[in-house]
Amino acid sequence: MKSLTLNESISFNGVGLHTGLRTNITLKPSSPNSGIFFNRTDKSTIIPAKWDNVISTKFSTNIASNGVEVKTVEHLLSALAGLHINNCEILIDNIEVPILDGSSSVFVENILKKGLKEQNSEQKILEIIKPVKFSCDYGYAELTPNSLKDEGLNINLESSFEGKYEDQDIKIMNLNGNYIESISKARTFGFFQEIEYLKSQNLIKGGSLDNAIVIKDKKPLNKDGLRYDNELMRHKVLDVVGDLYLSGYPIIGNYKGFKTGHYITINLLKKLFNSKDNYKIHKIN
Ligand SMILES: [Zn+2]
């Protein structure tokens, strides 16, 4: 598969979910082999979108380089991964990526309107060779080889919402081709009884029913309800796709997890890159 970048630059602006700060971002075409990277224009600092630049994972995935941070990168990275864009410069003039409608569909739809550009180099993919697992006291995730290579990435998640919502699971076979319709529209979510706690932690200052599902008594407070019955689980898949793209590559493998979140997926990537025996990086046709 050929490398892909954008046809032309696209700008977005909006508030960050956690900081509430208004931010402008511009996605710019970039050269083959440049990868996905942020350019904090207000700080003249480049921050590659890589797992080893992650500095925190509390309610969002946050990366930094030379002490300059970009918060909540996961939904934008998910959009780029879902569209197979592997070279893109992201100009950003403040600390947090705008949350927009809480999903990745605003990015996806606007990028598709302008179109993608094939580049004169082959994309490299990361194939899982050996199973890798990360567990913590409440959940786990694992990556295992996928012998059906044309399926790319399969995702299988189970969650327990501890009485706050019905427990659900989701199986996405062959994410390639399923992302735009099945995943990109799923919004981020929170539970009504946790809002005060999150605010006390200086989080969700930009959160509202326009950019997040809020669940109270097992039902959404949003007046139009949910976009899918299992929108929460689909959003968890969206987050996994974004976080996994911090590997720097599309992945061929199976991702299975219970109660996954940014902390679990980023730690799983750290374990994956602990040993070169765990994976193989190569070109695909
Ligand atoms: Zn999310």
Give the CATH number, domain containing residue 159: 3.30.1700.10
Query: How close is the Cα of 212 to the center of ligand 1, in Å?
Result: 9
The rounded distance, in Å, linking the Cα atoms of 144 and 133 is 9
Same domain, 109 and 85: yes
Same domain, 34 and 142: no
Least confident of 148-162, 236-250, 253-267: 148-162
Least confident of 107-111, 174-178, 196-200, 248-252: 174-178
Is the pLDDT at 205 greater than 70? The verdict is yes
Same domain, 188 and 202: yes
Same domain, 17 and 62: yes
Query: How close is the Cα of 114 to the center of ligand 1, in Å?
Result: 25
Is the pLDDT at 174 greater than 80? The verdict is no
Cα–Cα nearest to 114, from 85, 73, 78: 85
Same domain, 103 and 211: no
Respond yes or no: is residue 75 known to be catalytic: no
pLDDT in tens, 110-150: 999 999 999 999 999 999 999 999 999 999 999 999 987 66
In the chain, how many domains are there?
2
Query: How close is the Cα of 236 to the center of ligand 1, in Å?
Result: 7
Task: Assign residue 22 the CATH number of its domain.
Answer: 3.30.230.20
Report the amino acid identity of residue 35: G
Same domain, 56 and 142: no
The distance in angstroms from the start CA to the end CA of the chain is 5
Cα–Cα nearest to 117, from 217, 182, 246, 27: 27
Measured over all CA atoms, what is the biggest interatomic distance in the chain, rounded to whole angstroms?
53
Same domain, 234 and 245: yes
86: domain range?
Answer: 2-124
Same domain, 98 and 156: no
pLDDT of residue 149: 67
Is the pLDDT at 93 greater than 90? The verdict is yes
Higher pLDDT, 177 or 69: 69
Q: What are phi and psi of 243, to 5 degrees?
A: -65, -40
Same domain, 140 and 260: yes
Does the pTM surpass 0.85? The reply is: yes
Cα–Cα nearest to 242, from 271, 212, 260, 265: 265
Same domain, 107 and 155: no
